[in-house]
Amino acid sequence: LVSTRFASKMGAACTHPTNSKDAELSVEDSLEDLSNTVPVVSPQMASPSLKPRPKQKVVRPEGSVLPLQKVGMKSPWASASRIASVAALQRMLAPRSSGRPDFNGMWSCFEIVGDMDALLVSLEVGWVKRCAASAINYGAGYVSRRILQNNDEIEMEVIGTPSDFVQSFNVGSGWQTVSGPDNALRINPYWENSSLLRIDQTELNGSCPVILRHELHDFGLLISMTAADGVSASWRFRK
């Protein structure tokens, strides 16, 4: 359309010439019409400006990350039996007290030292029982002791007597009631020194006091018994 109008005006100017002033006006009019017809594009409109998109800050809602919680008793791994087993294992693996003797093991009596019959008389043991004890050499070659020790906790089982029994006690915890060959007894176990375990023993009513001492030697374990009148005898054990 622009070209046609331009050509028609130019043709009219060339076909119907007048004077030079009219020709100049016709050319100016044609250029003015052309300038009004052709759209003018400004440099700012040539292309849209592309600005970088601003970064958006990610805001994490509160509570999106759950805090760690301590496993309680509701956990299947925290049952009472499992906790008890773990506690028992920790006690077994705990280091033993420094300087304490280790009595753990199965100990067999192989020898007696001293006058055993005199000791039994001091302990007011009857003649029939003294004869039975003499028949088995007062336990030498017959009697054994199985000892389990964890620091001050001791379990001692006497095996090979007419009435076997087990004693469980805690050294240094004062007077305690334990089992005996005939009936319950009262004992007070404590460390007499760094290498000797002493047990003061009586009947439940406090009668028949006796002192037992356990001590490790080169041959093994020595258990001595002293009556109230001072008469003493010993048993030697080895693993």
pLDDT tens digits for range 173-226: 999 999 999 899 999 999 999 899 999 999 999 999 999 999 999 999 999 999
Res 105: pLDDT: 97
Rg, the chain, Cα only? 55
pLDDT tens digits for range 110-141: 999 999 999 999 999 999 999 999 999 999 99
Do residues 197 and 171 touch, judged by C-beta distance below 8 A?
yes
> Any residues with CB less than 8 A from the CB of 170 and at least 6 apart, and which?
152, 153, 154, 176, 189
CA distance 180 to 233: 19
Whole-model pTM: value is 0.60
- Quickly state the pLDDT bin for 81 (edges 50, 70, 90): low
Burial class, 101, CB count within 10 angstroms (exposed 0-12 / middle 13-18 / buried 19+)? middle
